[in-house]
């Protein structure tokens, strides 16, 4: 068995495996794994020519992550289970609901943490903010459009300095220390976006950069927004960003994934205010 730290060189190896799985969880794309490689101490394991990923969860549990569809290969699933038990891992994670049948039938302890769950919204919802419960979002969008000469530009080398400066300003205003925020991960995504085929946009108000978003398709019908930062002094900036980004980049996808809230109350409140259409839970299969 060979085990090595996750590095950029693994992209060619893991990208097609993750794409083939077609799971709409934010971890099942190479960019997300790479950006948070140090946070979760990701390691690539080659055991009998099968590939697995190991990591450390936010609550310090050692876990194994599958890199193949567990419903398609009994042999791969058995190898995963044997590795998990022999090496003393705490759990398998993140396991989507569609893979649970085997573990339920065999009496494994299964649970999930709400802070891990991804928030999914229909792209139509973000394009329209339709319905009585989203009238505040529509109003904020309207105010932004009426109060500013607004613009959206695709992220390129010509305007990359704008989101980088915004990121620095965001971190300065943040209550989180740089080592605990997603500053470095976001900076990685901006600088190395072409290496991961990420799509990004910069948003302007009266000629000034006030926000940016960057993300990618993680399955055939789900687009994940990995990072979104806005200057909240420009009222309605986030409503404008979600709306216009979805219109420009996400018309081919049924759902937008805004990823997890990590148990941060402000993030949770904000993401729930957009009324998620589905919570994609990340199940834990306990091995101990």
Instruction: Give the model confidence (pLDDT) of 12-31 as tens digits.
Output: 999 999 999 999 999 999 99
80: exposed, middle or buried (Cβ count in 10 Å: 0-12, 13-18, 19+):
buried
Helices (H), the chain: 11-21, 30-35, 74-86, 101-105, 123-128, 135-147, 161-173, 183-191, 237-249, 265-273
Judgement on whether residues 153 and 166 belong to the same structural domain of the protein? yes
Quote the pLDDT of residue 176.
Answer: 77
DSSP 188-212: HHHHTGGGGT-EEEEEEETTEEEEE
Confidence of residue 52 (pLDDT cuts 50, 70, 90): very high
Judgement on whether residues 127 and 207 belong to the same structural domain of the protein? yes
Judgement on whether residues 234 and 156 belong to the same structural domain of the protein? yes
Q: In what order do the strands lie in the sheet with 199-205?
A: 150-154, 199-205, 208-219, 222-230, 255-257, 118-122, 278-280
The mean per-residue pLDDT over the stretch 112-134 comes to: 97
The mean per-residue pLDDT over the stretch 250-275 comes to: 96
Listed residue (205, 71, 202, 88) closest to 143, CA to CA: 205
Give the percent of the chain with pLDDT over 70. 100
Domain boundary among 61, 93, 117: 117
Structure tokens at 77: 């699933």
Judgement on whether residues 113 and 192 belong to the same structural domain of the protein? no
Q: What is the C-alpha to C-alpha distance for residues 100 and 81, in angstroms, rounded to an integer?
A: 14
Judgement on whether residues 178 and 243 belong to the same structural domain of the protein? yes
**78, part of any domain:** yes
Quote the pLDDT of residue 141.
Answer: 98
Judgement on whether residues 147 and 95 belong to the same structural domain of the protein? no
Q: What is the pLDDT of residues 169-190, one digit of tens each?
A: 999 988 777 767 999 999 999 9
Considering the chain, what is the average pLDDT of its residues?
96
Structure tokens at 180: 């605990």
39: exposed, middle or buried (Cβ count in 10 Å: 0-12, 13-18, 19+):
middle
Q: What is the C-alpha to C-alpha distance for residues 84 and 89, in angstroms, rounded to an integer?
A: 5
**208, part of any domain:** yes
**281, part of any domain:** no
* CATH number for position 86: 3.40.630.30
The mean per-residue pLDDT over the stretch 154-175 comes to: 94
Domain boundary among 98, 117, 136: 117
Judgement on whether residues 254 and 125 belong to the same structural domain of the protein? yes
Say whether pLDDT at 147 is over 90. Answer: yes
Judgement on whether residues 94 and 177 belong to the same structural domain of the protein? no
**275, part of any domain:** no
The mean per-residue pLDDT over the stretch 83-107 comes to: 96
C-alpha pair distances (Å), 224 with each of 25, 146, 216, 287: 9, 29, 6, 30
Q: Any residues with CB less than 8 A from the CB of 102 and at least 6 apart, and which?
A: 70, 71, 77
The number of distinct structural domains making up the chain is 2
**273, part of any domain:** no
Quote the pLDDT of residue 4.
Answer: 98
Judgement on whether residues 133 and 64 belong to the same structural domain of the protein? no
Give the range of the structural domain holding residue 122, as residue numbers without chain letter: 118-259
């Amino acid at each position: 068995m060979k085990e090595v730290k996750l590095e950029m060189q693994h992209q060619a190896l893991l990208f097609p495996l993750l794409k083939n799985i077609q799971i709409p969880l934010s971890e099942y794309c190479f960019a997300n794994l790479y950006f948070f490689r140090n946070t979760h101490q990701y390691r690539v394991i080659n055991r009998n020519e099968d590939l697995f990923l190991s990591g450390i969860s936010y609550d310090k549990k050692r876990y194994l992550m599958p890199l193949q569809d567990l419903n398609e290969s009994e042999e791969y699933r058995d190898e995963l289970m044997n590795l998990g038990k022999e090496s003393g891992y705490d759990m398998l994670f993140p396991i989507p609901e569609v893979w649970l049948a085997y573990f339920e039938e065999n009496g494994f302890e299964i649970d999930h943490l709400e802070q891990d769950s991804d928030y999914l919204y229909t792209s139509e919802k973000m394009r329209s903010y339709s319905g009585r419960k989203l009238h505040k979002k529509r109003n904020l969008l309207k105010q932004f459009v009426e109060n500013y000469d607004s613009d959206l530009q695709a992220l390129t080398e010509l305007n990359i300095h704008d989101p980088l400066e915004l990121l620095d300003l965001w971190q300065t205003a943040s209550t989180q220390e740089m080592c605990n925020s997603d500053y470095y991960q976001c900076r990685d995504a901006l600088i190395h976006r072409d290496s991961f085929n990420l799509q990004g946009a910069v948003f302007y108000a009266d000629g000034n950069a006030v926000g940016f978003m960057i993300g990618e398709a993680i399955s055939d019908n789900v687009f994940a927004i990995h990072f979104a930062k806005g200057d909240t002094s420009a009222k309605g900036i986030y409503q404008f960003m979600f709306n216009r980004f979805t219109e420009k980049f996400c018309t081919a996808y049924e759902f937008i994934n805004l990823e997890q809230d990590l148990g941060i109350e402000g993030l949770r409140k904000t993401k729930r205010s957009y009324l998620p259409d589905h919570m994609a839970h990340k199940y834990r299969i306990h091995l101990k």
